[in-house]
Amino acid sequence: MIPPQPKNIDHELIILESLSEYYKKSGKTHIRRAELKEVCDKRLYEKTDGGQVEYGGGTFESTLKKLEEKLAIHRKLNGPGKTMFVIDIKRIGSLLLYKRYEFLENDNTKIADQELSQDTLQKTIADMIDVILEEGIRIKFLSNLDDPLIQRSHQPLKEAAKNIGSHLASTQFDFIISHEDENFKLNEDAFAQLIKVVLLDIVRKSPKKRFKLLIEYKGLPYSGTKLGTVFMQDILRIIIPKYFVKWAKQVHNYEVPGKDIDTFKGVSVNFLNELNPETRGFFGDFFESLKVYFDIWSETVDNKTT
C-alpha cells in the first residue's frame, strides 16, 4: 500500500537544511546538482516518514530558482549535465533563522546577513559577567574580604568563571536583523549595547527560559515639511509649548502667560491670533529658529535614504 502523500511540506526548508548539513560535513561551498538532489531526496524521505521518496523534477527546480533569487545559491554551468551550485553559507544560515522565526520577514524587508564576531560577543558577555561576579563576591564574602587566601584566589577564579561563562553564553544567541536595506549593518558597539540589555534585563531574571525579542520600526512615512504637517497637531499641542516656554524664559526672560499655554493646547485654526501680542512675537522668532533645526534634521534623513 502506498503511504498517503503528506501535506504542507516546506521544500525550501529541506534544501536549506541539506545544504547546511552538507557544508558542515564537507566544508565545501559548492555542490553538484545531482548530488544535491540525492541528499535532498534522502532528507525528504526522512521528513515525510517515507511518504515521499524523491522530489519531482519541477518542484526541485522551482525551489532551486527561489533560493537563487534569495541569493542562497549561485548556479554555474560546467557543461551538459554538469550543473554546479555555489553555496552562500551565511545567507543559508540567515534563511534558516527566518524559517525558525517566520514573523521577522515580510514582502518589504529582507534578513540582512550580519554576525557579531565571536570575539566581540564573548568580550561583551565577559564584561557583564565580571560585574556580576564582583557584586556577588562582595555579598558572599563580605566579612572575609581581607582574608589573604580569598584575595589571592579571587582573580584567577574570576577569570576562569568569566571565560567559561562567556564561552557558554555566546553560543546561546542568534541575532537577526530584518531590514528593507539588505546591506544594512549594525555597528558592533550598538550590538554590544543590545547584548548588555538582553543579559541584564531579560536573561539574568530567568536564565533557563527561552525568549524572542522583536523590535519593529515603522519608518517615517514622509520627510521635510510634509512630515511636520502630518504630525503638527500633537507637535503644537504637546511638544512646542513646553520648549517655547523654556526658550522664552532663557532667551528673553519672558514668562509665557498660562492663558497662552492653554491656547496652544487647544490648537484651534486661529490660535496665533488668540495669543498675547508679546507671546505671538516671541513665538514667531522661536518657530523660525525651530524650523532651521528641523530642516537640518529632515535633510539628514533625506540624504541617508537617497
Q: Are strands 73-77 and 83-87 parallel, antiparallel or unpaired?
A: antiparallel
Residues 94 and 122 reside in one and the same domain: no
Whether residue 242 contacts residue 250, with contact meaning beta carbons closer than 8 Å, is answered with no
Q: CA angle at residue 227 from 223 to 230, to 5 degrees? A: 155
Task: State the pLDDT at residue 118.
Answer: 67
- What pLDDT, on a 0 to 100 scale, did the predictor assign at position 1? 39
CA-angle at 186, arms to 184 and 189, nearest 5°:
165
Per the structure, how many domains does the chain have? 3
Rounded Cα distance between 64 and 74, Å, is 10
Which of 173, 203, 233 corresponds to the end of one domain?
203
Q: Are residues 165 and 238 in the same domain?
A: no
Same domain, 193 and 147: yes
On whether the pTM is more than 0.75, the answer is no
Among 100, 135, 166, the domain boundary falls at 100
Could you tell me if 169 and 126 lie in one domain?
yes
Same domain, 87 and 125: no
Residue-wise pLDDT for 196-232, tens only, equals 777 777 777 777 777 766 665 655 555 555 545 444 5
Asked whether residue 106 is assigned to any structural domain, the reply reads no
In a domain, 68, yes or no: yes
Residue where a domain terminates, one of 100, 126, 152 = 100
Each residue of 24-56: pLDDT tens digit? 888 888 999 999 999 999 888 888 887 787 887
Same domain assignment for residues 86 and 155: no
pLDDT by position in tens, the chain (length 306): 344 444 578 889 999 999 999 998 888 889 999 999 999 998 888 888 877 878 876 888 999 998 998 888 998 887 776 889 999 888 888 788 777 666 555 545 555 555 556 677 778 778 877 877 777 777 766 667 677 776 777 777 778 877 777 777 776 766 666 676 767 777 777 777 777 777 777 777 777 777 766 665 655 555 555 545 444 555 666 777 888 888 999 888 999 998 888 887 776 657 778 888 999 899 888 888 877 776 665 554 444 444
In a domain, residue 111? The reply is no
Within a domain: residue 216?
no
**Long-range own/partner contacts, residues 206-214 (CB < 8 A, 24 or more apart):** 212/101, 214/103, 214/104
C-alpha cell at 188: 558592533
Are 188 and 128 members of one domain?
yes
* pLDDT at position 269: 59
Looking at the fold, whether 240 and 166 belong to one and the same domain comes out as no
User: Is 5 inside a domain boundary?
Assistant: no
In the numeric block, the cell 535633510 is attached to 299
Residues 95 and 21 reside in one and the same domain: yes
Residue 53 lies in a domain: yes
User: Using an 8 Å Cβ cutoff, are 94 and 205 in contact?
Assistant: no
Both 95 and 16 in one domain: the answer is: yes
Can you give the residue range of the structural domain that contains 139?
118-203
Q: Specify the CATH number for the domain of residue 96.
A: 1.10.10.10
* Residue 130, in any domain of the structure: yes
Query: Residue 306: its pLDDT value, please?
Result: 41
19 and 94 inside one domain = yes
Q: Is residue 210 in some structural domain? A: no
pLDDT score for 114: 54
Cα separation, 223 vs 230, whole angstroms = 10
